[in-house]
Structure 1
């Protein structure tokens, strides 16, 4: 029970905000669920939180993180709210959080969790030393994983797929090398260059030499791995756009 991780989508401990984003559970129900799992012997627990919610303040985020710390859980995934045009919020015309406020929120989150002994080992993930999400590491380290049930996604022999409502596997278009770089650079472990060259037949350090030079203060190469420092991971999307072929950016 201490090996397999259970992750719970709490999102926030503020009932007002939970209601505003259409969640059916309450903050108290989330707290009770954590305690039920603990009493049942499950110790390897993680929760998901969201920041940048409509109407959320920095103080709201601080309360959410402090409540997580009081729970003394080994892992936290915390994401900024992304509003896509075809999502419910997008169709409702909900405006995204002010960029400066969102940046302040994330900087406070990183600083507070690191001061509390958590490793910021992936852009949106924090863990007590060594308590990384083994399931998610499969995504980030270019390994295969299985998806089960309608709506799930997986990858087998490098081919991504999703499962439709009839339970059928539907192959998805996959750019394996770029995906491996994108996912690996999200983490503090980066990309294993030897494994990458063996698998894909080319060296990202050479192909993207200009981009690496452009962002030189953030790129590091050590023990055969190419990785970004913490500030570099915060601007990963910008770096990845510069890595895309010109025709992909049109």
Structure 2
């Protein structure tokens, strides 16, 4: 595939930049691969996903992904990949042969860490035992399974293609396919959901013994069916009761909360997502994928790729739709928007290491956030208080330029 390798010019925000310190150590590097097709678009989903045709253009898309990656290699600087994440859409719609060719092509271009984490998103309605055994044989060693609910009426309300029985069987099938590390995605605050309904779903998920649970509240996002035709959602008091009781239940069963909506057994936090939240680097390839890459001279550049699959597959169009070098004044917010999602925050030394800016440049705004009770008074860490975690947007306002 011969896409034009030229890229749009860098967009700089604000006035002329004062120089930033060179980065002595570049962050860990991850790869995000976006596969944009689903069997059916869910009414709550605002991700870049599109209803699949009967025959997917697997070969053409894999060719495009590798050509896209080739154009980003100049910014990799010989680093190795610590993790890969196949997101979507529904990546498990692709055959093992297509994903195998893609992974082989990626490894020919970038060295894999010896303990690389490779995650594939999958939905219960796409589970085929032989296909998942083949995925595991490729080196994919972690699954993220989109359950959302085990209750038939809730699944129908969410527009999901699987039923309750398929949701229950998915974890067992993952284990039989050789996956000993997998996440279950579960929502709460669903249409007409009671506290008992929500806890029933959570107990069922815990009983399946996943190593990781993503448990988060349904929100109505613009440009979705639910935004234009909102369902009847639980009252705020019920939502608060669900949150409190659910967190207690997860803790009781050994699932430690390490991020706003992420809970894991000991040693099983998602390394790929931890890299995002600690302001690590990631290449993003695929339709609509985003990336963030640091350079030795101190530049930190965000990129985004052409969104529509038909445009991404069009040789006359660029893969890259745009890029932006982050200016100094945006870095405090950019860094903390990620780091403060972690319940334990991050070591304060990570701020200068990842941004090239002195920690002292945060001092005044940090003091104000501490005095408001939203940021912990802890010199060696940047971490939200319990109240700050509840009012994270308010906390982050302190660091907006």
Identify the TM-score tier after normalising by the shorter chain: 0.7 to 0.9
How many residue pairs end up in the alignment? 243
Partner of 1:159: 301
2:339 to 184, 187, 196: 184
Residue 172 of structure 1: how far off its partner (Å) = 5.4
Cα distance in structure 1, aligned partners of 2:173 and 2:160:
20
Q: Does 1:221 align with 2:378?
A: yes
SS in 1 for 2:185: strand
Cα distance in structure 2, aligned partners of 1:22 and 1:3:
28
SS in 1 for 2:220: coil
Q: Does 1:54 align with 2:212?
A: no
Partner of 2:202: 65
Larger Rg: 2
Residue 85 of structure 1: how far off its partner (Å) = 3.6
**163-172 or 117-126, which deviates more:** 163-172
More helix by share: 1
Residue 242 of structure 1: how far off its partner (Å) = 4.0
Partner of 2:357: 201
**234-243 or 53-62, which deviates more:** 234-243
Residue 49 of structure 1: how far off its partner (Å) = 0.7
Partner of 1:169: 320
Residue 206 of structure 1: how far off its partner (Å) = 3.4
Cα distance in structure 1, aligned partners of 2:242 and 2:370:
28
| Unaligned 5+ runs, structure 2 | 1-135, 295-299, 313-318
SS in 2 for 1:146: strand
Residue 161 of structure 1: how far off its partner (Å) = 2.7
Partner of 1:25: 162
Partner of 1:7: 144
1:42 to 161, 165, 179: 179
1:107 to 244, 266, 280: 244
Partner of 2:286: 149
Cα distance in structure 1, aligned partners of 2:279 and 2:213:
22
2:394 to 238, 242, 247: 238
Relative to 1, partners in 2 of residues 1:57 and 1:212: Cα closer, same or farther, differing over 3 Å?
Answer: same
C-alpha contact 2:171 2:210 (8 A) present in aligned 1: no
Cα distance in structure 2, aligned partners of 1:214 and 1:134:
32
C-alpha contact 2:365 2:398 (8 A) present in aligned 1: no
Could you list the per-position Cα deviations for residues 91-128 of structure 1 after superposition, in whole angstroms to 9, with x for gaps in the alignment?
Answer: 11335532221111111111111111111111101001
Cα distance in structure 1, aligned partners of 2:272 and 2:350:
20
For the aligned residue pairs, the C-alpha RMSD in angstroms reads 2.2
- Relative to the length of structure 2, the TM-score reads 0.56
Which structure has the higher relative contact order (CA within 8 Å, separation 6+)?
2
